[in-house]
Structure 1
Amino acid sequence: MPEQRRILRTAIPGPQSKAWHDRRQHSVATGFAATLPVYVEHAGGGIIVDADGNHLIDFASGIAVTSVGASAPAVVSRVQEQAARFTHTCFMVTGYDGFVEVAEALNRLTPGDHAKKTALFTTGAEAVENAVKIARVATRRPAIVVLDHAYHGRTLLTMSMTAKNVPYKDGFGPFAPEVYRAPFPYPYRWPGGPEQAAEQALDRLRDIVTSQLGPDRVAAVVVEPIQGEGGFIVPPAGYLPGLREFTEHHGILLIADEVQTGLARTGDLFACDDESVVPDLICTAKALGGGLPISAVTGRASLMDAVPPGGIGGTYAGNPLACAAALGVLETIEQQDLTGRARAIQAAALPRLRDLANRRPAIGEARGRGAMLAVEFVQPGTTAPAPELARQVAERCHAEGVLVLVCGTYGNVIRLLPPLVIDDDLLADGLSVLEAAVAATDG
């Protein structure tokens, strides 16, 4: 594991990274964006080491993927052992133990004590898309309800379900049919105020479903328990239980997209656990593979078995190397109590972010749960989004060796997703860099 401290040997990016980035410009499609054009030599804990020997503090985790670190021993050893056995057979052709073990673990760990089954795939978007397929077959209904500010993926269906136009949807239409949108309770921006957000958003969703769509046409409502790309928006207390009650009343399935929130990120194993909400189907990915591509849909056994053999799957679905990595991730989360560690990160970081917001008029709100935290930038004295300011703060953090990500429907939110294994000193140093970047940019 690299030394766990921030070290700047060159400007960011340095000459070796610049050389690699120039090669990239000539060989890689422009559609792949580059948040920070540094090129990584190795990583572990809370540190990324680039080609120039700089040690950067990782507040991104590969977009919530390397929650157990980028080279967790249990993940590395299990993958090495599996690679020596075999790398692929296709589970739909000949089975293997790892796929079954991952399914058993997710059946045990996901919310609810009902009988469950699991299907493994490769990406988060695949998981969401297959959850919709399962819901439609199980209910024999066509319509899917999604929410404002949602992000669900880049495939045709999940892109249709995603709210933000640029860069995810612009120019890629026409989109998939039978996808309908309802308001999400965004407390900071809710017109009636945060106290009214949960009930008013539920009232609006109920009206859309009952008056415009017809409950007997709706297969599922798909919700991120905490919205990710939309701006790390935490719904107010009562919203998710109210949504669960409404869907159950009408025989509508509740699909929880926990691709970003799942597996200890929010201080619970799943974000739904915070209010004891039990979805019918739950999607996981990102942190599940510790860096290897794997995703899952876990749900009520009767629903999962509604699809006949051959109806779901994929050549690489539940690849044996990725299954080995997933078992290492789950082992690490449980043995190191990373749900507790996420809560400790919140306890250390969120008060500092809120204090920063109180001192800096360009920060409208600091929010989040566990190690899924964010600050939203606005024009001082207003709630008007300030995306350029967020970009400038991120650039200053990058120049000082702290990797942060910008998100939000309006591009005005900086999100923090540190690995759950980051140490306290490194976390504190990274937060100090962020505070200094805000002070320098905000004046």
Structure 2
Amino acid sequence: MTKPLRIALAGLGTVGGGVVRLLDANGELIARRAGRAIEVVAVSARDRGKDRGFDLSRFAWIDDPAELVRHPDIDVVVELVGGSDGPALALARATLGAGKSLVTANKAMIAHHGLELARAAEAAQVALKFEAAVAGGVPVIKGLREGAAANVIGSVYGILNGTCNFILSKMEAEGRDFADILSEAQALGYAEADPSFDIDGVDAAHKLSILASIAFGAQPAFGDVAATGIRHVMAADIAEAAALGYRVRLLGVADAGPHGLFQRVHPHLVPLSHPLAHVVGSTNAVVAEGNFVGRLLFQGAGAGDGPTASAVVADLIDIARGEFGPPYAMPADALADQPAADTGERRGRHYLRFEVVDKVGVLAEIAAAMRDAGVSIESLMQRGATAGGAVLVAIVTHEVPERSVTHALEKLRGSPSLAGAPMWMHIVAG
């Protein structure tokens, strides 16, 4: 009989516990699909005494996760510690350096150090797998790396953070403001006590940089992702978008061309005709546009113990079958070192919202700034005063270069007529 694939598990939190439970529940089926059993041999976590709902005594307990690679019976290390550096990165480097395969759900580590780790895995001729790092149980990395491998991908974009999508769709359904919904999301466990990583777009930016690298054959470039979150989206923006036939979604968008790699996480107005407009709650969804396959939509649960554990174990099944392959769909040294694209000439329609002082001449000042910057206004809406006494002015532009919008906003910067920073959202073409 073929020897089992023996794994060490670093981290027994939500996902780590989910991996153990999944292997316990579906072990026989997994063994038949993998061609051999997959067995947890050793584990490491911070609290040995914590009740995790399953028997820990059957596994070797190792206090220091970096020592897992020294266990003589280990074929693969599964890293579920988290964090871009520190213990997680030390374990990853030690695992690949010891000639053992690595499976991780750590989006931050892959976004920051993926190229280094890919080179180490290829040099050692072992696997580096990270399906669970993007969109939980949704097989988008496998879909891009394998299913769409014959295609030139024109763009990849989508809803990459479930916390933000939960907040935005709840604001949309109930007409409540961001702060109220955030508090509710924290109470329900959808948002962390410190939600900055999610609501400021950092989590989505990590995931986008991974997808962009695989989709376009480019070296990972997390530092080039321009990220803006949803912290300043107002209920009035949601209502205005609905009146115009749109829904507000935080999207990660990437494409590559002769002028460089474009990567941005930003709130967008998505037309009701687009499938992403109908993705609600904590669901993730990714769209890839291939030159032969056309539009591909990957959608499903983007977090949680079951979906994420499912992606981890799917990677383990690949390794058990001997399916390694380069982590980024091509050898690390073949990945292009693409410069960041200049966004100034990107053309599109835009939504701009201003909080302004209620006085004569404010609309004329805004209109003049737009005119002088070459921004053509498609529609302008003025709403009643907010609780703070400011008046809301919303503008939808015709298709213009982004540089022109930036120039118009610079002209208005510091104006005593503005009661707050403007909100700028890009409009997705129908």
Superposition TM-score tier, normalisation by shorter sequence: under 0.3
- Whichever of the two has the greater Rg, that structure is 2
Q: Between the two structures, name the one with larger relative contact order (CA 8 Å, sep ≥ 6).
A: 1
The structure in which a higher percent of residues are strand is 2
Q: TM-score, normalised by structure 1?
A: 0.25
